[in-house]
Each structure stands twice: as structure tokens, then as C-alpha cells.
Amino acid sequence: MSSMADILKGWETERLISFLWADSKSEGLELDDNFFTKLRDEKISGHLFLKLTGWEFKEYGMTLRQALELEDYIKELNIRKAELAVYHVKGEGSKSDDPPTS
């Protein structure tokens, strides 16, 4: 079975953002609209996201704690097994459940 990182590698920016927004593991990361806007502005795809480090997230304006937690999250994606229900982003949901748009 593929890891989540293997799945994310082929994703474009918008699909990555939808996944991160919906993924329950990302809830503790305090990802805000500003973070998603930066991903969108820089056109960060899944492949590029997986290469980012804590230092680069820090340069994005995140606190050190947030940057390190996000770096750990990416490491976890490399070992976490992909499950169909996990990486299929729902098309339904309340407005507050939707990822931020540009």
C-alpha cells in the first residue's frame, strides 16, 4: 500500500490545500487562511510541499512550534498508509468546512 506522501506527490496546489484543510491530523497545526494563501500564491504542489522543512515554514512566517509540527507532519505522511477514505476530500460540507479560496 502506498504512503500518503506517495499519493500527495502527484497533486496540484488546490487538491493539496483541500486535503490539508480536511485532514484531521492537520487540525492541531493551526493552519490559517494565510498559510493556504501562501501555498496558492507560490503554486506549491504536493511534490514541493513534501520537500519543505521547518526552516522554510519559519520563513513563511510561522512560529517555530508551528514550523516544527508541520515538519513532523510531513515526516508522518511519508510513513502513514493511504486509506481511500482519508485522501478523498468530501465535496459536501458547510461553508466553514471548505478550504479558503483566493
* 33 in a structural domain: yes
* 102 in a structural domain: no
- CA dihedral 46→75→18→41, nearest 10 degrees, is -50
* 21 in a structural domain: yes
Span 31-57, pLDDT tens digits = 889 999 999 999 999 999 999 999 999
Other Cβ atoms within 10 Å of 7 Cβ, number: 18
Q: In the numeric block, which cell numbers belong to residue 69?
A: 509540527
Span 6-15, pLDDT tens digits = 999 999 999 9
Q: In the numeric block, which cell numbers belong to residue 39?
A: 501555498
The model carries a pTM of 0.77
Give the confidence band of 84 by pLDDT, cuts at 50, 70, 90: very low
Say how far apart CA 27 and CA 13 lie, in whole Å: 19
Total domains, the chain: 1
Q: Which domain holds residue 83?
A: 4-88
Phi, psi of 91 (to 5 degrees): -90, -10
CATH classification of the domain holding 63 = 1.10.150.50
